[in-house]
Structure 1
Amino acid sequence: MVSGELGNSAPAGATVDLPAGFACHVGNMGMKDDTDDVMVLAADGLAAAAGVFTKSLFAGASVRLSQANVADGRVQAVVVVSKNSNVATGEQGERDAANLARRVAEFVGCQPDQVLVGSTGLIGVHYPEGKVDAYFDRLVAAREGALTSRDATAAATAIMTTDTHPKTASASAGGATVVGIAKGSGMIEPDMATMISVITTDAEIAPDRLDAMLRRVCDVTFNALSVDTDTSTSDMVVMLANGAAGPVDEAALESALGAVSLDLTRQLAFDGEGAETLIVVTVNEARDDAQAKRVAKAIVNSPLVKTAVHGRDPNWGRVAMAVGKCSDETDIHQDNVVIRFGDQELYPTPATPEALAELEAYLASDEVLISVDLGIQTSEVGGSFTVYGCDLTDQYVRINADYTT
């Protein structure tokens, strides 16, 4: 389903175009400062659509509205507001989300229930009074030429909050293209989806097939990501397929979607708040994939593992600790476990002092692989899973300590 190949990330300063039949608009609506804070992306007509959303009990008004609007599998537009999450804002927040969908529909030329709404930023703050209507009044009055850009990089930039750079990825599937944008840097430990991502393709596919495909891919990419174990109230991954390129082989389309999603996942992990190192954890020889994922998440989420990597300390005992705290996994036995940093085995065969010195240099790399074999597979294949995270730095504490000030 998801191969090892990544999509094509855009180099710094490069532009990625949306697939044929999609256009976007970005601008400043006045949510916080003078940077772009609103992005509207639209198809030429109704598109097949699918979405996965946070399971947070504090899910925002935008999430609930989008869940309802995507239920029939057909939408035309997506709007994302950054700098304000519209979460825990009561009935006024519900009205604000519905009004935003209505104004975007007026701008695009579709129905309000054909618009998906994303909103990310501070919790518990209402949209500034009158800002949304005033902005869209101007857009509707100057509709000609206002929705003609295909610049996915600009769209990705407009939805950033604490991100340090825009995140885009693209891949091909036959004659079709898949392009994804994403934002996310902190509050990332998905409980169905993670951060905000909008994925577009000009392939033709039925909504139910698209929904199943997106969920399969999310499970091994976005849902394999963790920065800080915290699940956002605004998480959503949505995908639109407008059919402009006609039908393509669905296996090829799923492979392209997987490549784009994995690329974005790795970008998000590497851009974790204050992060300096991408941590990739692979668990093999598990009872099944689900067990491998649970153990891998325990490792990548451990503050002690994260700080060991940041400190360039090849302390494999931190990994053993993380495996050991999976106490419900009663078929894991320490005598069967193998722990490696990179290619170097550390347990049960101890590394030489020379190898440990080399590992200190390895841990200073941009990307560090930690692999664990559980030694309990019950078939030739066994269970395996890879997750993505980052180191824990003092800058993470500073960013979040000062978030509202």
Structure 2
Amino acid sequence: MMHGYESVSVDEGPEPPEWPREFRAHTGHGGLRERGDDISVVVSDRPSTSAAMFTKSHFAGPAVVLSRANAAGRAMRAVVTLAQNANVATGRQGAEHAAEVVGRVAALTGVPQGEVLIGSTGVIGRPLPMADIRAHFDEAAALGTAAFGAAPPDVARAMMTTDTRPKTAVRTVGRARLVGVAKGVGMLEPNMATMLAYVLTDAAVPADALDAALRAAVDTSFHCLSVDTDTSTSDTVAVIANGAAGPVDTPELAAALADLCLDLTRQLARDGEGATKLLRVTVGGALNPAQARRIAKSVLNSPLVKTAVHGADPNWGRVVMAVGKNTEHPDDAAIRPGLVTVGFGDVEVYPREPGPDTLARLADAMRPPEDGSVDITVTLGLGPAAAMVYGCDLSAEYVRVNADYTT
């Protein structure tokens, strides 16, 4: 137990996690990819409160535009996700197709169209294969309630594009449960949240409190995530609370939501396209949290730092380069080399370069065990603020994945 809520690993035990009370889900193949499920729907069978955040990209797709309007009512009950096709830069036709999918989900679930969120992720610039999608929803409608038997890992798997594994997380607060699913391993740098992530809970939470909890959770999790510095046109994060388990302590719920989102953040970073290592960068001694995060992201996003991590090369010169190149923000004018320290793991490498007795520890820090992480720590010596950000190394596989993505 921690903070009044329980942290539960989804890998514990042979059974997959279950949805919170009075949620159900459907997955199936709608012709978006060659094989496998590529459409998912999660729905609450009772009225709900909700909160959501979306990409700030000027090229936000029709799914984001439509969902942003629906989310304003803070009463969403259903989420549909189309994988492998972002339906972005597709003009009026793309908007019409997104609206049609929402209408078909509303008919399938009995939820008003204005209470349906739609996510669409994948290749940009291609129309949706609407004939196949229509056929899929016709078949699902014919099955009725039998179409809704998917578990959280099924939905997370149906959402995947270049992900290598589904991402789910579970937390409990009193009688209530929170279940999160997420996808996204490339085109991943937040400008609100990042990627697609949905959290469903049977807690009863007022809409204002839910919105505040989500924004606070995003600020310490998805906002601290980057794989390749590129902000997607389709980023969406949402939470839906249907109240079936009754009210819970609001601070405990907020803490559980933040912990769940951080869990998903780490999973997304670890599965970054071509990633072989999770990379965590901590900056302390900053003037304020914004500076700490800005400098940490500068280190995290440096291709030279990322490739050094991939090669297990403790090249601290690249780290100080990434710190020193921050010259535009007025706060960063206070940065002085004589105040800065840099470490890999628990080994300080600047200004005190490690000697022979510490080289073995340094090698261990750069070659973590399977599913381990490489930690880079920077202190600025300016103030009390700190931030930790999450990403991954940069490998030749990242180039291959993205060079061949549409071919």
Aligned residue for 2:382? 376
Range with greater deviation from structure 2 (341-350 or 240-249): 341-350
The residue number in structure 1 matching 2:198 is: 198
Alpha-carbon distance in 1 for matches of 2:67, 2:258: 23
Residue 233 of structure 1 aligns with an amino acid whose one-letter code is: T
User: Which amino acid in 1 is paired with 2:376?
Assistant: I
- Work out whether residues 182 and 198 of structure 1, in 8 Å CA contact, stay in contact via their aligned partners in 2: yes
- Conserved in 2, the CA contact under 8 Å of 1:75 and 1:116? yes
Equivalent pair of 1:8/1:260 in contact (CA under 8 Å): no
In 2, Cα distance between equivalents of 1:9 and 1:56: 33
Deviations along 1:157-211, whole A, 9 cap, x unmatched?
A: 1100000000000111122111100001111001001000111111111111111
Distance in 2 (alpha carbons) for counterparts of 1:294 and 1:251: 28
The whole-number CA distance in structure 2 between the counterparts of 1:76 and 1:258 is: 21
Which consecutive unaligned segments of at least 5 residues does structure 2 have? none
Deviation, structure 1 residue 11 = 2.6
The aligned counterpart of 2:64 is 63
Distance 1:238 1:326 in 2: 33
For residue 356 of structure 1, report the CA deviation from its aligned partner. 2.7
Match of 1:189 in 2: 189
Which of 348, 353, 360 is matched with 1:350 structurally?
353
Q: 1:236 to 1:7 in 2, by over 3 A?
A: farther
Kindly indicate whether residue 337 of structure 2 is the aligned counterpart of residue 334 of structure 1: yes
Amino acid at match of 2:191: D
Give the direction of change, closer, same or farther, for the CA distance of 1:6–1:278 in structure 2 (3 Å limit).
Answer: farther
Give the counterpart letter for 1:218 in structure 2: V
Say whether 1:122 aligns with 2:135: no
Contact between 2:6 and 2:173, CA under 8 Å: does it hold in 1? Answer: no
Letter in 2 for 1:64: V
> 2:270 aligns to what?
270
Contact kept? 1:9, 1:168, Cα under 8 Å: no
1:214-253 equivalent positions in 2, closer than 5 A = 214-253=214-253
CA distance in 1, matches of 2:130, 2:72: 30
Is 1:274–1:395's contact at 8 Å kept on the other side of the alignment?
Answer: yes
Match of 2:391 among 382, 389, 402: 389
Gaps of 5+ in 1: none
Q: What is the Cα deviation at residue 76 of structure 1? A: 1.3
TM-score computed with the length of structure 2 as normaliser: 0.95
* Cross-structure match for 2:295: 295
Name the CA distance, whole Å, in 2 between partners of 1:238 and 1:356: 45
What SS does structure 2 have at the residue aligned with 1:126?
Answer: coil
Number of the residue aligned with 2:22: 21
Taking the aligned partners of 2:143 and 2:37, their CA distance within structure 1 comes to: 18
Q: In the TM superposition, what is the alpha-carbon distance from 1:6 to its structure 2 partner? A: 9.5
Q: Conserved in 1, the CA contact under 8 Å of 2:6 and 2:172?
A: no
1:221 deviation in Å? 0.1
Q: Identity of aligned pairs, percent?
A: 49
- Report what 2:144 is aligned to: 143
Q: Measure, in 2, the Cα distance between the counterparts of 1:8 and 1:221.
A: 18
Determine if contact 1:6/1:260 at 8 Å carries over to the other structure.
no
Deviating above 6 A after TM superposition, structure 1's stretches of 4 or more consecutive aligned residues are: none
Q: Secondary structure at the match of 1:308?
A: helix
Computed over aligned residues only, the root mean square deviation of the Cα atoms, in angstroms, reads: 1.6
Query: Does the aligned pair in 1 maintain the 2:365–2:375 contact within 8 Å?
Result: no
Matched-pair contact (CA < 8 Å) for 1:173–1:256:
yes
User: Pairwise mapping of residues 16-95 of structure 1 onto structure 2 (< 5 A)?
Assistant: 16-95=17-96
Conserved? CA contact 2:347–2:361, under 8 Å: no
- The 1:6/1:358 distance shift into structure 2, 3 A limit, reads farther
Matched with 2:106 is 105
How big is the shift at 1:7? Answer: 4.3
Q: Which amino acid aligns with 2:375?
A: L
The offset of 1:61, in angstroms, is: 0.3
How far did 1:14 drift? 5.4
Cα distance between partner residues in 2 of 1:233 and 1:142: 34
DSSP 3-state at the match of 1:130 = helix
Helix, strand or coil at the partner of 2:48: strand
Distance in 2 separating the partners of 1:158 and 1:292:
36
Distance 1:113 1:201 in 2: 20
User: Following TM superposition, by how much is the alpha carbon of 1:386 offset from its aligned partner in structure 2, in angstroms?
Assistant: 0.6
Q: Distance in 2 between matches of 1:173 and 1:398?
A: 43
Count of equivalent residues: 398
